[in-house]
Structure 1
């Protein structure tokens, strides 16, 4: 049976969920279709988690305008959704006179975009902000911040769902038919969904989705960035983000040090074009390079400080022989009425996401009348952060109400059984090990699940009836166990 919607959003990354949450304010039927078994499994969870100020993009471009507006919207959005955000600022560091010229250009560009508080610092001023930082000059951008990217994406999705948006996880779109009045979308899980408006927010696969409706104007070139995660022993080593001055022709902003809101430091990303949109490999050569860069930027690093590596993919519109950046594509197509196309939403897509939500809402309003609903729930229930970040008296109150708060499952991150249970019973119904990890931070500490994963497996078996074949790391085919042994 075909299910009817006013708006269907393809892709459950941060941009798709920001659009869904914005549309959930109105009296329409909306749904999100996602090929993976959870939201935020691709680009939206595999990045630096930086809220950019807006210095890097040409004035007048979509990237520039949406970046600055999205940055300004983040504080209130994160307050409502109970998502941690910290505006700690950034130093973009020059090592030579050519880099200094770049800093002046970035400052001029940022001011044209409306970025406040930009200042070029000398060596003494740099040291006051970040002792030990190298370089001869730095551009300070105080409105640069950090956020948990998958935390924001999950929060947007849960709030959208609480306001009536349906989610079809594990449903890869394999066919879209336009009849001039709307669309029929068919998925790998056998769903047949109809909608008056379809929004293509498929990220790395946005060109593929566009071609399904006859739009062949765009190609996506996946560009892989690898990262190293440092142990929390180094928490407090950085007061601000530290970036190198970008060099012309690069595919990214260079390898840098990035604080996270959870206390780790990231080194990366590299940039390397790859052939496949799911090639998340990590390579020995790049890891060695990142370690070398890390030692140069933080001389006190030891080998044991590197606890994990990962990679992410940028959906670039520029091929390897050109590199650089192209502006975002966000368009309402006249040749395919009702199809709203988003292509090449790479960095600063995370920062831009709330502003993109507003922009796409206005495009939808040109196709469908939007009437606000008084029942819209703007705030997400719960606390900001995790149990181990609460004051002792707050922790005691929660333990008194629910003893599962008093049982530690993950020693490294001090994650309680109650938090693990809440992650398993999440509103979106995602049931993978990755879903538990991203919602609770269990398995994210120094031992990377060596202690807590067996305990989580036991909880899933005893409390939820899991069989060996039910344990998936992230998606279909990622079984943790292949059978029983005596």
Structure 2
């Protein structure tokens, strides 16, 4: 039996989830199809987690317009969605005359784009902002900031779901065809759907979906970036992101504080054709550390606690030039909105991109406002961030707050249980990790991982071999060690 919708969004990353939330402002039946088991298993959760100021993008591009718009409105968005966000500021550090002239051009470009507060600062001011940095001068962007990309993507999706959007995980699209009545039949590995409109937000799979919709000619590449995660011990030495002077196509290897006090180092930028491999070779980590240490000399192997990588989709032309965001409605594919090449600054730009996509739909048919739409979403309260008095009150009300499951990040059983019973109905170990920060501390789950797996198993009535770490096939257990 087909599930019938007014709009199907393909892809539940940060942009797809933002599009779903924007569509929920109108009286529409909306479904979201996601091939993975949660919303941020690919590019949306594998990036530098920076809210960019919009100064680095070519004049007149969607990247520039959406980035500036997204940056300026992010305080309000963070309040609505109850997500961690901080306007730390950001510096682009230089040493040579060539660097100085490049940064002057960046400031000029940024001001035309609409970036706010950009200024050139000398070494004294640079040292006041980031005492541990190495550099002669810098461009300072005061409105740049950092965000938790997992919490942000999850919050957009949860708020959409609260407002009536249906999410279907582990539903990779394998076929789309337009029926005689003008609607679209979408077949996934699990289900069949019928919809009047399709919005392609498939990220790394967007060209594949474009082809299924009858939109041909896009050529795609991927840029894989590796990162090192450093212990919180060095967090106080980095109050804001520190970048080198950017090239015309690459922002360079940088060091970035996280919302939780760690530091990330990276990324490099290797062109890849395999969009499923996320391994980080040792030689790449060595290169990241060596390069970034010329900016910030506090990168030591004793502080490495993890690594990760992300892959960005790159829309390429014949000369391999990287192009702008694509947000389009094409005559050859009626009733579709096609998004291609949504790479950095996609995290910053997600909601502005979503508004533009929905506007294209509204240009084609009249949309009726949903008066019951509620933009407010509350996240899981973090026990570790509460005062001693509030902690005591929480424990008295719910004893599960008194049981610590993750020691490194002080995550309680009450938080784990809220994450297990999340509004999206996802149940992997990574889903719990991204919602609570459990398994993200110094021991990387050495203490808490098995306890969390046991809670998932008990709460959801699963067999042990049904508990997944993340993607399909990542079973935590395959059988008993002892009979």
Residue by residue over 1:13-66, the C-alpha shift from the partner in whole angstroms, topping out at 9 and shown as x without a partner, is: 000000101111111101100001111110000001100000101121111111
How many residues align? The count is 481
Q: Hey, what's the Cα distance between the residues in 1 that align with 2:135 and 2:260? A: 28
Aligned to 2:442: 446
Alignment map for 1:134-213 (pairs within 5 Å): 134-179=134-179, 181-189=182-190, 191-213=191-213
Asked if 1:380 is matched to 2:377, the reply is: yes
Match among 320, 333, 341 for residue 336 of structure 1: 333
Aligned to 1:273: 271
Q: Hey, what's the Cα distance between the residues in 2 that align with 1:300 and 1:19? A: 40
Taking a change above 3 Å as real, the CA distance of residues 92 and 210 of structure 1, as seen in their structure-2 partners, is same
Taking a change above 3 Å as real, the CA distance of residues 345 and 290 of structure 1, as seen in their structure-2 partners, is same
SS in 1 for 2:333: coil
Residue by residue over 1:95-146, the C-alpha shift from the partner in whole angstroms, topping out at 9 and shown as x without a partner, is: 2111111101100000001111110011112111111321222100111010
Aligned to 2:118: 118
Match among 451, 466, 473 for residue 469 of structure 2: 473
Q: Hey, what's the Cα distance between the residues in 1 that align with 2:360 and 2:24? A: 15
Higher mean Cα deviation, 289-298 or 119-128?
Answer: 289-298
Q: Hey, what's the Cα distance between the residues in 2 that align with 1:357 and 1:215? A: 20
SS in 2 for 1:236: helix
Q: Hey, what's the Cα distance between the residues in 1 that align with 2:102 and 2:457? A: 57
Taking a change above 3 Å as real, the CA distance of residues 312 and 423 of structure 1, as seen in their structure-2 partners, is same
Aligned to 1:482: 478
Taking a change above 3 Å as real, the CA distance of residues 323 and 228 of structure 1, as seen in their structure-2 partners, is farther
Q: Hey, what's the Cα distance between the residues in 1 that align with 2:337 and 2:460? A: 41
Q: Hey, what's the Cα distance between the residues in 2 that align with 1:49 and 1:13? A: 14
Q: Hey, what's the Cα distance between the residues in 2 that align with 1:120 and 1:291? A: 27
Post-superposition offset of 1:367: 2.9
SS in 2 for 1:431: coil
Asked if 1:389 is matched to 2:355, the reply is: no
Q: Hey, what's the Cα distance between the residues in 1 that align with 2:296 and 2:70? A: 31
Aligned to 1:432: 428
* Gap regions ≥5 residues in structure 2: none
Post-superposition offset of 1:294: 4.4
Tell whether the 8 Å contact from 1:158 to 1:427 is kept in structure 2 after alignment. yes
Tell whether the 8 Å contact from 1:205 to 1:277 is kept in structure 2 after alignment. no
Post-superposition offset of 1:322: 5.5
Post-superposition offset of 1:335: 1.7
Aligned to 1:253: 251
Aligned to 1:412: 408
Higher mean Cα deviation, 213-222 or 49-58?
Answer: 213-222
Tell whether the 8 Å contact from 1:197 to 1:367 is kept in structure 2 after alignment. no
Residue by residue over 1:273-310, the C-alpha shift from the partner in whole angstroms, topping out at 9 and shown as x without a partner, is: 11111121211110111222344444344322110000
Post-superposition offset of 1:462: 3.7
Match among 322, 325, 329 for residue 325 of structure 1: 322
Aligned to 1:314: 312
Residue by residue over 1:138-179, the C-alpha shift from the partner in whole angstroms, topping out at 9 and shown as x without a partner, is: 100111010011110000000000100000100000011123
Match among 333, 349, 354 for residue 351 of structure 2: 354
Residue by residue over 1:67-91, the C-alpha shift from the partner in whole angstroms, topping out at 9 and shown as x without a partner, is: 1111122111110110011011110
Post-superposition offset of 1:3: 1.6
Residue by residue over 1:410-435, the C-alpha shift from the partner in whole angstroms, topping out at 9 and shown as x without a partner, is: 00000000111111111111111111
Post-superposition offset of 1:466: 2.8
Aligned to 1:17: 17
Post-superposition offset of 1:465: 3.1
Post-superposition offset of 1:324: 5.7
Residue by residue over 1:182-212, the C-alpha shift from the partner in whole angstroms, topping out at 9 and shown as x without a partner, is: 21111011x1111111000000010000001
* Gap regions ≥5 residues in structure 1: none
Post-superposition offset of 1:360: 1.1
Tell whether the 8 Å contact from 1:73 to 1:354 is kept in structure 2 after alignment. no
Tell whether the 8 Å contact from 2:83 to 2:152 is kept in structure 1 after alignment. yes
